[in-house]
């Protein structure tokens, strides 16, 4: 083993599972999705789909509905599975592999709210504008899939 490999501390690894999705409403002739905005480390507002950790005893579907409600104030009903996004990041010396399961949801109640402490802003964004607003490529891919699914239903 090279000396440089021996001298580096071995990073601990963890796996995390989250769930969330795209909740959509149809109002005033426009289909829109609810997005959340969070400030990154540099203070920039980054828009994403609502999501969060799956709690013990929850299915990914239950977690997705709960997290969307907590982060946006909107109650959603799952209509389809969109897919998953995997990524890896490092926090506090730990390497974390995260898988986020995303679902397409229909808004069935609630009011848009940014009361969740982890969320800086929330907004209804017309579907055709989601691709340019979302910060993450994996989420943009899933939103394009959702848009195609919704167009097939129209």
Averaged pLDDT, 124-137: 96
Supply the DSSP symbol for 43.
Answer: S
Residue 141, burial from CB neighbour count under 10 angstroms (0-12, 13-18, 19+): middle
Region 28-35 average pLDDT: 94
H or E element, residue 144:
helix 137-153
Q: What is the rounded distance in angstroms from the CA atom of residue 149 to the CA atom of residue 14?
A: 34
pTM of the model: 0.87
- Please tell me the predicted confidence (pLDDT) of residue 154: 60
pLDDT, residue 133, reads: 97
The pLDDT-based confidence of 114 (bands split at 50, 70, 90) is confident
Tell me the pLDDT of the chain averaged across its residues.
91
Q: Set out the domains of the chain in order of their start, with CATH numbers.
A: 3-153 (3.90.79.10)
% of the chain exceeding 90 in pLDDT: 75
Measured between alpha carbons, how far is 71 from 117 in angstroms, rounded to an integer?
A: 9
CB 44 within 8 A of CB 131: no
In sequence order, which residues have a C-beta less than 8 Å from that of residue 133 and are 6 or more positions away?
Answer: 35, 47, 125
CA triplet 105, 112, 29: central angle to 5 degrees?
A: 65
Decide if pLDDT at 4 tops 60. Answer: no
**80-84, 113-117, 120-124: range with lowest mean pLDDT:** 113-117
Judge whether residue 138 has pLDDT over 60.
yes
Q: What is the dihedral of CA 145, 26, 44, 71, to 10 degrees?
A: -100
């Amino acid at each position: 083993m090279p000396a440089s490999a021996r001298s580096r501390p071995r990073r601990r690894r963890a796996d995390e599972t989250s769930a969330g999705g795209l909740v959509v409403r149809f109002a005033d002739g426009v289909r829109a999705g609810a997005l959340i905005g969070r400030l990154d480390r540099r203070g920039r507002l980054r828009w994403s789909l609502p999501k969060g950790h799956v709690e013990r005893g929850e299915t990914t579907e239950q977690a997705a509905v709960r997290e969307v409600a907590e982060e946006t104030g909107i109650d959603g009903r799952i209509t389809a599975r969109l897919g998953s996004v995997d990524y890896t990041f490092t926090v506090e010396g730990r390497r974390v592999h995260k898988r986020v399961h995303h679902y397409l949801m229909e808004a069935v109640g609630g009011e848009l709210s940014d009361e969740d402490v982890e969320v800086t802003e929330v907004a209804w964004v017309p579907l055709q504008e989601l691709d340019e607003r979302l910060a993450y490529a994996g989420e943009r891919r899933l939103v394009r899939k959702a848009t195609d699914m919704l167009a097939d239903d129209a």
